Amino acid sequence: MHILYHLTVLPPKMPECDAVVQEVEALQHHFGGEICYLNPNQRLPLHLPRVFFGIHKLEQMRCQETSLQLHHVFNPDPFPFPILRALRRPIVYSLTGGVDKRKMNVPFFASLAAVTVADERSLKYLGSLGLDNVILVHPGINTNRFTCSHLSLGSEIRLMVGSAPGSQAQFRTKGVDALLSAAQRFHRLRLVFLWRGVLADEMERRVSRMNLDDQVKILNRKVDVNKVLTGVHASVALATNSAIIRPYPHSLIESLAAGKPVIVSRCIPMADYVERTGCGKIVENIDPTSILAAVESLVDEYDSLQKAARGVGQKEFAQQKMIASYQRVYKHVLEQATGA
């Protein structure tokens, strides 16, 4: 199968740490095809708006379409990239972020061969707009890389923190500042941040300024996440709104695959799953008090939460399930295109 996978982000500094890139590479390995970065801003002196993304590659893509079966676009929000209207093969558009109550160009998305979402909230919302081409595809990871391990609760409570900020503003909106303040209040709390090469110096300054060097570790390099998870009790992902984070953050999926419970913000769609399965705790507000309340509840119920995490992590988020879901999407789209 010849598929052109389109990414709208800049090529990440650490692609092996980027959840979307990992997902695309898994699909590419299974189905074949090529990856195309539509964002030209890495080479430009001035920032180019998204409305122009991909125009610089139109001629190249037109040539590729002679042997291409379909396009697969990955983007966090429902943005109607004009370049997609110029493509001649069927388009699958995967929304990698939450889309609950977001304004969107309904006719544009109705014209696509398929739109995929990762969570039930987005599926329900897009259905309420009249879109009948939306398909739910839960994310998946290579769960074989993870082993369930037990870490007894002692004098320290250790949490792994993924979904690192991509901008200064996201130190607040992704709960980093609130987590650091929580650690200041509660000296038993230890935080292990998985970083991605962006704003690492700024993070180190904040940790130093708050005198948290003994409580906070920043892993700004490629790491064996399974090994990191053996040294923590749980993982946490926070956000002030669902648009800035994946509906099912990979760091939390990895945590469950290793049998470690999770702490997640209510606004992140994965919170519905966590609440339903009992594999973690929900943070209602992004502030130190709410975070510490969730941590305290995690400690009180740790054995049952860990049991629930072990029961779901390995089977619910296997990469093979995600690939099988996309295979059904591709089959449906190609059958529609050929009139089968």
71: domain range? 3-140+318-338
- Whichever domain contains 123, its CATH number is 3.40.50.2000
Report the pLDDT value the prediction gives residue 84, as an integer from 0 to 100: 97
CB 3 within 8 A of CB 32: yes
pLDDT tens, residue by residue, 276-294 = 999 999 999 999 999 999 9
Verify that 181 and 218 share a domain, yes or no.
Answer: yes
Same domain, yes or no: 326 and 209: no
* pLDDT tier for residue 340 given thresholds of 50, 70 and 90: low
| pLDDT surpasses 80 at 253 | yes
Give pTM, 2 decimals: 0.91
- Do 124 and 55 lie in one domain? The reply is yes
Burial label, 230 (beta-carbon count in 10 A; 0-12, 13-18, 19+):
middle
Backbone angles phi, psi at 117, to 5 degrees: -130, 160
Q: What is the mean pLDDT of residues 108-117?
A: 98
Together in a domain, 10 and 119: yes
Q: pLDDT-based confidence at 15, cuts 50/70/90? A: confident
Q: Is 90 exceeded by the pLDDT of residue 44?
A: no
pLDDT digits (tens, 9 = 90+) for 95-111: 998 887 778 999 999 99
> Within 10 A of 63 (CB to CB), how many other CB atoms are there?
10
- Which among 37, 54, 109 has a CA at the least distance from the CA of 77? 109
Number of domains into which the chain is organized? 2
User: Are 71 and 8 in contact, with CB atoms under 8 Å apart?
Assistant: no
pLDDT at 225: 96
Q: What is the 3-state secondary structure (H, E, C) of the chain?
A: CCEEEEECCCCCCCHHHCHHHHHHHHHHHHHCCEEEECCCHHHCCCCCCHHHCCHHHHHHHHHHCCCCCEEEEEECCCCCCHHHHHCCCCEEEEECCCCCCCCCCHHHHHCCCEEEECCHHHHHHHHHCCCCCEEECCCCECHHHCCCCCCCCCCCEEEEECCCCCCCCHHHHCCHHHHHHHHHHCCCEEEEEECCCCCHHHHHHHHHHCCCCCCEEEECCCCCHHHHHHCCCEEEECCCCHHHCCCCCHHHHHHHHCCCCEEEECCCCHHHHHHHHCCEEEECCCCHHHHHHHHHHHHHCHHHHHHHHHHHHHHHCEHHHHHHHHHHHHHHHHHHHHCC
Of 7, 273, 331, the C-alpha closest to 281 is 273
pLDDT, one tens digit per residue, over 299-337 is 999 999 999 999 998 889 999 999 999 999 999 999 998
In this predicted structure, what is the pLDDT of residue 210? 98
At residue 208 the predicted structure's pLDDT band, cuts being 50, 70 and 90, is: very high
Mean pLDDT of 229-249: 95
Evaluate if residue 28 carries a pLDDT over 80: yes
34, 53 in Cβ contact below 8 A?
Answer: no
Are residues 296 and 273 located together in one domain of the fold? yes
For 119-177, how does the pLDDT look when each residue is reduced to its tens digit (9 = 90+)? Answer: 999 999 999 999 999 999 999 999 999 999 889 998 899 999 998 998 999 999 999 99
Examine the domain organization and report whether 276 and 208 are in the same domain.
Answer: yes
Asked if 58 and 136 sit in the same domain, the reply is yes
Q: Are residues 193 and 271 in the same domain?
A: yes
**Do 160 and 308 fall within a single domain?**
yes
> Distance between alpha carbon 50 and the CA centroid of its chain, in Å?
21
**Does 53 share its domain with 170?**
no
Same domain assignment for residues 192 and 286: yes
Tell me what pLDDT residue 29 has.
96
- Mean of the per-residue pLDDT values for the chain? 94
Q: Are residues 322 and 312 in the same domain?
A: no
Q: What is the dihedral of CA 74, 77, 83, 87, to 10 degrees?
A: 50
The pLDDT, as a whole number, for residue 269 is 96
